[in-house]
Structure 1
Amino acid sequence: MIFSLNLAKPLGRLGYLANLVFFSVVFSAFAWGAHYLMTVKLPESGAHHEGEVAAQTAYATSLTKAKKAAAGKALSAEETAKLKAEATEVGKKKTEEAHHHASATWAPFQIFLLILVAIFFGGYASVATQRRMNDAGLHGALWLSVGHVGIWGVASFISFLPYFIAAGTTLSWLTATSVAGVMILPLLFLGAGKDDSHDAHGH
């Protein structure tokens, strides 16, 4: 069976690759969903409302002052349009300020969710890694260290990729992740194992 949490079940090279691809797609989707929720959806929902309120308040205040200054005379269409444009700018600035403040507020929750994604991703991928090593006969402390450290490094990078991209630190972390990727490469090539002939059929 390709997808299983039973360490006693063998896992060949193709099955291991299928596990890595599947988990990468699934948990990457969770990571990007969490990132979008905490950096776009939630901050913007409140920011737009505050911006609209600020624009309406600014327009009402400016309109009152303009009417007093006009000494009871009706305002021209140009003057009214100018007041609306100024109020719109006030609303935009307020929206940006509110969005920035909300993003800072939700940032810790984003990190928390991404940590959860990384833990589950790394956990499932680690089980698959151990099954692959068991099936290939790759035992010993060295293989355990290399295999599990490598897969946790890759899983963590994929889980935090949305955050790295937003922070502009992707290349910095990519170097370390490349090393982690190299650490798990032997599992895709060494030790054919007894399950390789069945991987393509999912047995």
Structure 2
Amino acid sequence: MPKISSDLTGLFRKREIFWDLQEIAKENPKVLSPGAFFDWMCKNYITAVTVSIRALMDQSSDVHSLWRMLYEILEHPGIISRRSHVSLYRTAPKELDLGNKTFDTVVGRSKQYLPNGMIRADLRKLEDASARVRRFVNKRVVHRTSPGEIRKIPKFAELDEVIDVLDRIFCKYDLLLTAAGTMSTRVERNNDWRRVLHTPWIEIGSKFRPKA
């Protein structure tokens, strides 16, 4: 669970930097010319994010992925129960009541166990949301197939949506299994990454800055 959470947090941080840079470029279009740097950045962002999504959806039996976690839960019916969830709230009677209310909200008021149908539905949501991304990685990143193998390349907005779907489903199961109660794996940074852009990268006189 911590590794999956960390991977999702990493995706949000990559996304934050990418979209911040887009806004910075809109404010100052001069940084877009020549375009080699932003072209390189966009391609690397696409590769990093799509490969991370594919890893979170890996179905291999020897990996720790989000897809695999849900599949293992499906293979062990009853592992997520009201009793096991409420037992996570042990310190006070009010918290035990909170445990029951949480299970009511997420699973259902009359339910004692997380239904397999709900787990299957969540697996389908993961698979449907990430299908084009996984195909892109398999056909264009990991293997180089002919351009006709992929009709539509995932768009940046689609990558954002996949990240959000993975995050929502992970947080649901993290809540049921650990009572963590986090709404998202997105974590605020302790510092402003944009500070690195406040100072010119190449000083006058550098070998990387030829005289005009």
Please give the range of the TM-score, normalised by the shorter of the 2 chains.
under 0.3
Which structure carries more helix by proportion?
1
Decide which structure has the larger Cα Rg and report it.
1
TM-score (norm 2): 0.26
- Greater RCO (CA < 8 Å, at least 6 residues apart): 1
